Each structure stands twice: as structure tokens, then as C-alpha cells.
Structure 1
């Protein structure tokens, strides 16, 4: 039987050294090999093997552990989207909608992984082609055409299954998966879509003309967005990161692909309950420090003396 290989995907800035050492120490006693990408070579510890090429890294791992926030988790899912393997997210950030495990729960999570005591939550992705057939991107949350200050608004026509649907004039045009409905689309006023739903959500941000309402497409429908002659030069964002700049006449073809990502869930019910709580917190007009000020004082360690 081949030795299991676990790949680590690290947040580019956060200190994950304690977690990297913990994972490698655990691997030493469980006949596992830990791999890192070349971009994280300086953060390796004894026993970890560094793989120079991202494609080779993705081809060798049996599973991934993402140490960071949701952005790191999305990057890990994109790495192995062509041949999905289970991805466990360890939340080193703030809200963490995708990553389920906290740093203090890592040891227990590793034990659950080794015992095959977990479930898999499949995630869809968007396949985006633009410019020419060789230019392809993958998004697990969303792809957005966004206005760049001083470079004009987003003006685009839309076609669904080759049938013209209408046009947009807005600050941004967002195409999201159900998972991504709680990200950029949500902040632009779009609805929350159940993660069990299948399809693509199209949401304009700050529309001034044309289509002004969100649109949900079924999985089989193909979406084409083409920038109009006076569209300016907006940015193309994939999962929140700028990938390119677009111009008049450029077109995006977007397709939905199921089960492109496999997310490890240790307690799916508890995770969904935390998601609902986090969404409710997003609607509160308070900063995290202000929320702490509203929290009740710590309860006494000892129960009060019984009054007779």
C-alpha cells in the first residue's frame, strides 16, 4: 500500500509554523508523508518534502490541509480541481465560512482523518473562458467583472444558451456558485442560496441601467457576458483576486461544474449552525470589538451559595 501523502497549503502571511510542526510530528508516527509547494519552501520543517511544480504537487497528494482563511481554502480547492481530493480547512482567519476546524482542534481532526471518520461535502465550481480557448480560470466562490476607478463602468450584454437576455450597466457584475452566494454577491444585495442548490447566481452591484435584479440559472445553462463598446476597462476577479483587465468586445463564457471540490466535514450539522450565526453577524452594524463590549460579563467559576 502506498504511503498516504498530505499536502499543505499555507496562508502567505499568517504564522502557521506551530501547525506545520504539529502536522509533521503527527505524520512521523502515522506513516504519512507531508508535502509543501515550492512557494512555501522556507516554511518547511524536517521531514517535509518540497515539490517544485504546483501541478506535480497536486498530482502526488491524497488530500490537502489548508492553513489560513477562506481565501487559502479556495486556493487549495483550485489547485486540485482537475482531479479533486479531500481538503480540510483549518481556520487561521476571522469568520471562516469554508474552513471548519480551529487551530486548537487540529490534533483531533488529524485523528479523525486517519480513522476515516469524516464526511465529504462536494462543491461546484465555475469554469471561465475568455480571450481565447486557452485562457481558462476556475472559481469556487465567484467570478466578477468589476469597475476600476477612472476606467469607466461595467457595461455588458448577456446571453444564456446563445439567446440574448439583456444588458447591464453597473459597478460590478458577479457570477457566483451557491457557496459563493454569501460572499461578494451577498454584499451586493444578492440572495443567500442553499449550498445544496445547483446552478449559477448572476448579481449586478450598484446597477444604473439595464437588468437590476439577481438571476439564478440552472446547471445546464451556459452563460456568456460580452463587454459593450463603451464598457471601459474593468478588472476580472476570480475568487476575490484580480486575474486580468478586460476591454470593449471581450467576452466571458461561464459554465457550472459539479463536485469539482471535496471539502472535509467533521460535524456537518454543527458547521451549518455556525454558518447561520456568522451570516447573522454580518448584518450587525458593529465591529468585532464593539460586539465584545455588548457580551455579558464572565459567569463566576463557582455556583452561588444556596439561600436557605
Structure 2
């Protein structure tokens, strides 16, 4: 790689991690670029500022520093010309990120030594009144208080399938099955699978179970009542009115994720999923850790992996 781009969390200060990446790229003859806005905001020397369009069109790889939202934004950014994206978690959950922030140095060394591979990921292509959008995690039509339930009819591959009347209708990718779909009681699907997962949240009538469509089965939703919000990968995109139509299909090979040899990302995600079901706050969980181990963690002497 001759040029690597950084995609950063829009608010969190990732300056120390940026410094780590800069030290690595400088020693390996790699140019490190970031959007002009991010370079100005951080004030870190050595970063080359470029327009977002150039970042998307010219980099050989992307490092996303933030949470899952930052990683998803990076994948959407380069979806027209997919290049490998390494997710580094500095957020709260980080189901999608390959490494935690404390493992960044180790990850960079592994990449330099050829200890990484790349996995393909698909996405949803959503056509709506505003145009065409992509979602690597999910597209959600969600009830707005006072605006009525989400009511819609669905057709699959040109054939009418049924209707929904619910608080929210979640259209998820297998990679995004651990997000809103999981919270709504939908199944966890291997990210290596392909297709569109449809899950209603708090269904009042109509279809009440999750449905996994195949990769060659496009769906069509027609809103029949309510004025729901419309979200793509957790980002509010707008509002929908009765009569509006969403057409959704699967796109293969829309993104590339970096995977590291010996990574424990999958193990961590399973643990994080199990912790979500505990009736405790994260800080309360720490109280269950033995005091001796808590001291080691505070001192930074415990194994970061």
C-alpha cells in the first residue's frame, strides 16, 4: 500500500491513535491522508489533508478509528471502489471492529508482516424517493411518537408476500444482524451468509416473525399508513409518507474488511452479545472483577487481548 486513508469518529479525540498510525506509516514509506475537516479538527502534524472525494478515490486501504458507526461510514465511503478497511474500536460496543484501540500497534505490525487477510461483505441497496442509498448494517423504518404505527405491504421478487403493522421494520444484512435486528428479537446470522433479513419490532398485527430472503430476492415495501422515520446504518435519513415505496436488493462484494491472524474479534463479539442481556450497567460489571485484576487493568499491565 502506498496511500492509506484515515476515517475518524466525528467527535471523539483519537489523536493518540492517529500518532501511532503516523509512526507506522512513516517507517514503512506509506502516505497517510485524512479529510481536510478531520486534519483541521485534530491539529496533528504529518497528516496529509485531502477532500473526501479524493480520500475515497485514491487510497489503497482505510483505517477507521471510532466505533461501529465510523467503520460503516468508511465502508460506505469506498463502496464505489472497495478497498480493505481495518476497524479499530474506540466506541462502546464495537461488534464490527477487528481490534480494540489498545491493540492498534499489534495490528499494524501484523499487517506489515503479512498476517492479515481480507473478507468480502455485501450491503443493501435501497431505492427511495430521495435516490439510491447503501446500508452495510441495516435500513430501518421506525415509528415516530404521535405519527402512528409503521404500516406497510411487502412484495418479494415481484410477488405480494404480506403486510406489517409494527413499531419498526428492520431490514438488515447478515453483518448487521447483531444490531437493531438482534435487539428486536431477530436471529444472529453469520456475516459470511448472504441475503436480506426482515424483522418487525413490536408487531401488532400482520407478519410477526423474522424472514431471511435470499441474495437474488429483491423486496418492495409500500407504506400504507403512518409517517415513520427512515434510518440507514443508524443515521436518520428522513421521513416517509403513506404511498412511498422502498425497493431493496442485495449487492455482493460491496466492501472489504481486514481480518488479522489470531484475532479474537469473534470471541469478543460473542461475549459482548451475552453481556447485553445482563441487567447491569458496564460500570457495575467492573465491580464483579476481583480488585487485584482491576488494579492491573488500571495500571495497564493486564494483557490487552
TM-score (norm 2): 0.92
Alignment of 1:1-40 (within 5 A): 4-40=2-38
What is the rounded CA distance, in whole Å, between the counterparts of 2:222 and 2:113 in structure 1? 49
Deviation string for 1:176-211 (max 9, x for gaps)? 001111100111111111222211110001111111
Give runs of ≥4 in structure 1 deviating > 6 Å.
none
Deviations 1:214-247 (A, max 9, x none): 111010001101101xx12111100111011110
Alignment of 1:1-308 (within 5 A): 4-42=2-40, 43-52=42-51, 54-131=52-129, 135-228=131-224, 231-267=225-261, 270-298=264-292
Q: C-alpha displacement at 1:44, in angstroms?
A: 4.6
Deviation digits for residues 16-63 of structure 1, max 9, x if unmatched? 0111122122222211101111331312532221112x2221111000
- Give the TM-score normalised by the residue count of structure 1: 0.91
Deviations 1:129-184 (A, max 9, x none): 0116xx11111110000111111111000000110011101110000001111100
Give me the whole-angstrom Cα distance separating, in 2, the residues matched to 1:88 and 1:170.
36
Displacement after TM superposition at 1:270 (Å): 2.2
Bigger mean CA offset, 24-33 vs 39-48: 39-48
Distance in 2 between residues matched to 1:38 and 1:155, nearest whole Å: 43
Question: Which of these two proteins has the greater Rg computed from alpha carbons?
Answer: 1
For the residue of structure 1 that corresponds to 2:194, the secondary structure is coil
CA contact (8 A) 1:36 1:44 kept: no
What whole-Å deviation, never above 9, does each CA across 1:233-285 have from its counterpart, x for those lacking one? 11110011101111011111111112211111114662222221111111111
CA distance in 1, matches of 2:95, 2:152: 31
Q: Which runs of 5+ in 1 are unaligned?
A: 302-308
Contact 1:91 1:99 in 2 (8 A): yes
Q: Does structure 1 conserve the Cα–Cα contact (< 8 Å) formed by 2:60 and 2:83?
A: yes
* CA shift for structure 1 position 296: 3.0
Distance, in Å, in 2 between the alignment partners of 1:70 and 1:119 is: 20
Instruction: Note the residue ranges of structure 2 that are not aligned, 5 or more in a row.
Output: 297-305
What CA distance in whole angstroms lies between the structure 2 residues aligned with 1:268 and 1:149?
46
Compare 98-107 and 197-206 and name the one that shifted more. 98-107
The whole-number CA distance in structure 1 between the counterparts of 2:162 and 2:101 is 47
Q: How far, CA to CA, are the matches of 1:107 and 1:189 in structure 2?
A: 37
Gap change, CA 1:268 and 1:218, over 3 Å in 2: farther
From the superposition, tell whether residues 124 and 268 of structure 1 become closer, same or farther in structure 2 (CA, over 3 Å). Answer: farther
Contact 2:150 2:165 in 1 (8 A): yes
Q: Give the equivalent residue in structure 2 for 1:305.
A: none
**8 Å CA contact retained: 1:201, 1:217:** yes
